[in-house]
Chains A and B, each alone.
Chain A
Amino acid sequence: MRPLVEPSTPLPGTQDLLFEAARRLRRCEAALCDVFEKAAYGEVIPPAIESAEVFGPEAFRALDRSGKLIALRADFTAQVARIAATRLANLSPLRLYYRGSIVRRLSADSGPVHERLQAGCELVGAGGPEADAEILSLAAASMRALGLRNARLSLGSTGYFSALANAAGASPRLATALHDAVDRKDLPTLRALCEREVAEGKARDAILLLAQPPRPQADARAMLERAEALAPSDEAREALRRISAALSAAGSLGTGLEVDLGEVRGLGYYTGIVFNLYALGSPRPVGGGGRYDTLLGRFGDPRPAVGFSLDLDALVPLAEVG
């Protein structure tokens, strides 16, 4: 007799979805696809395995028989960028959406992986604030389609942070330390770093403002104006103007929108606006997105793009769909 398979449960970080759980997921996906299709986005289904170069170090990798490094899908956006830059290189703007699962290592220095269900949209070949606004509106509409009325969208800009770090002449090591302190809203550490390693001036004052609490959309103007008065460079002013322009173009989203210049968390390739979505009942963000104007260039087609993805593992249990 052959022995029983051990272990007989799915690996940690993965799961079986049975019957009602599967039905719920499909209903949520259908509600989202409906929103995406109505906004004229078309579905793409990239393969589950790719050349490892497409992804970052978080991907789960293996060698194929020829010794080439391949990886399980760790990020839809990078795959969509590859598709857009190659097979769809001459079409602008492109509106693409996807759904499926990604597999990632828990952290760069850990072996264990987890699987996450995602859905999301990418708008390629449109560099203006209207495109940013379109993606913000679509993210807000997605929250509504899932019946999440108290969701919050927190808008910031990695472009603004980079501009300040550049203006302060920060070394890569210092920029990383500042980024980490801003991301943790760690004002004491940020202050200590600035006092020790950043020269007095506008750049330093502007960096210290990054750990301020977020402001609701209604008060955002005043904060952005204050930041603009401190802006140490044209690059920083431009990044702030992009936030203002996106806000104006987006109008009222119907989802609590707040501006947080310290919202710098995002994927490594974000270059401009960045945002995260929060919903009551989930201890971590339920989605996020941003502008990535240099990613397609890696595949030979330097076009701007902006997009977002939703964490369906976090959202499906909270969703209220018919």
Chain B
Amino acid sequence: MLTIALPKGRLQKPVLERFALLGIRPDEEPGVSRKLIIPAGAGARFVILKDSDVPLYVERGAADLGVCGLDQVLESGADLLTPIDFGFGKCRLCLAAPRESKLGSQAALADAAEMGRSLRVASKYPRLSARWFARRGVPVDLIALSGSVELAAVSGLTDAIVDLVESGRTLEENGLVVVDELLQVSARLVVNRAAYRLKVEELLPLLEKLG
């Protein structure tokens, strides 16, 4: 029996389509059913999760495998195998700032160091952001927010934001521009390290067909 962590939200549909190609279909439709665990035939079941919780469930073994964005894999710091890049759910994790600010108008990070104080940055990705700025030697005051991150830069709470950019429309409509790109994101298959070894007979055929 394989337990598969299925993310809610925009990734759910394409993920279910990929598993359906292998004959793994939930017995009830996740959008309709209120069940949190949905069997999928005799050999598998789906657990329905927020995508940011997928890495932890899989690392701790409550699910054997799952799907989430590369951003969530890296932000969680979870110790996982990431054998497959599905290629959908594509977006970019970007540093963005108001168009008329020094950072935004020059579209260069180097100038931030000349501000004479730490760069203030808001993000839902404090771990990823901290590491990225640290590697560039830029002192940064990171503010972890849980929603409407753009507002932080627009309202003057911070100098810049680190957030996912899909089409760029939200940024544009709020007068923000991309300064730099931290990461290219797409949906990844994540697998528990021990499950990969102990359930290898069930998992390998699945990995071959998903890949």
> Which of the candidate stretches A59-67, A95-103, A114-122, A185-193 sits at the interface with the other chain?
A185-193
CA distance A282 to B60 in the complex (A): 9
Determine if A213 and B204 form an interchain contact, defined as CB atoms under 8 angstroms apart.
Answer: yes
Interface size of B as a range:
20 to 34
Which residues of the other chain, A, contact B211 by a CB distance below 8 angstroms?
187
CA distance A107 to B204 in the complex (A): 31
B76 within 8 A of A: no
CA distance A188 to B192 in the complex (A): 18
Determine if B194 and A187 form an interchain contact, defined as CB atoms under 8 angstroms apart.
Answer: no
- List 8 tightest A-B contacts by C-beta distance, closest first: A283-B61, A188-B85, A278-B197, A185-B83, A185-B81, A186-B82, A278-B194, A152-B197
Can you list 8 A-B contacts (CB < 8 A)?
A152-B197, A152-B198, A185-B83, A186-B81, A186-B82, A186-B83, A189-B82, A284-B193
Which residues of the other chain, B, contact A187 by a CB distance below 8 angstroms?
83-84, 211
Distance in Å: Cβ of B194 to nearest Cβ of chain A: 5
CA distance A150 to B201 in the complex (A): 13
CA distance A72 to B47 in the complex (A): 41
B59 within 8 A of A: yes
Distance in Å: Cβ of B41 to nearest Cβ of chain A: 22
CA distance A152 to B200 in the complex (A): 11
Determine if B194 and A282 form an interchain contact, defined as CB atoms under 8 angstroms apart.
Answer: yes
Interface residues of B (CB under 8 A from A): 59-61, 77, 79-85, 191-198, 200, 204, 207, 211
Residues 254 to 295 of chain A near chain B (Cβ within 8 Å):
258, 278-280, 282-285
Closest chain A residue to B203, Cβ basis = A213
Interface residues of A (CB under 8 A from B): 107, 150, 152, 154, 184-189, 211, 213-214, 258, 278-280, 282-285
Distance in Å: Cβ of B48 to nearest Cβ of chain A: 20
Determine if B81 and A184 form an interchain contact, defined as CB atoms under 8 angstroms apart.
Answer: yes
Which residues of the other chain, A, contact B197 by a CB distance below 8 angstroms?
152, 154, 214, 258, 278
- Partner of A185 from the list B60, B61, B82 (CB cut-off 8 Å) is B82
CA distance A258 to B198 in the complex (A): 11
Closest chain B residue to A183, Cβ basis = B81
Which residues of the other chain, B, contact A107 by a CB distance below 8 angstroms?
77
Which residues of the other chain, B, contact A213 by a CB distance below 8 angstroms?
200, 204, 207
CA distance A187 to B198 in the complex (A): 20
CA distance A107 to B207 in the complex (A): 30
Closest chain B residue to A211, Cβ basis = B83
Determine if B194 and A283 form an interchain contact, defined as CB atoms under 8 angstroms apart.
Answer: yes
Distance in Å: Cβ of B88 to nearest Cβ of chain A: 13
Distance in Å: Cβ of B148 to nearest Cβ of chain A: 29
Distance in Å: Cβ of A83 to nearest Cβ of chain B: 31
CA distance A189 to B83 in the complex (A): 9
The answer to whether residues A283 and B192 also contact, given A213-B204, A214-B197 and a CB cut-off of 8 A, is yes
Distance in Å: Cβ of B201 to nearest Cβ of chain A: 10
Determine if A283 and B60 form an interchain contact, defined as CB atoms under 8 angstroms apart.
Answer: yes
Which residues of the other chain, A, contact B60 by a CB distance below 8 angstroms?
283
Distance in Å: Cβ of A247 to nearest Cβ of chain B: 17
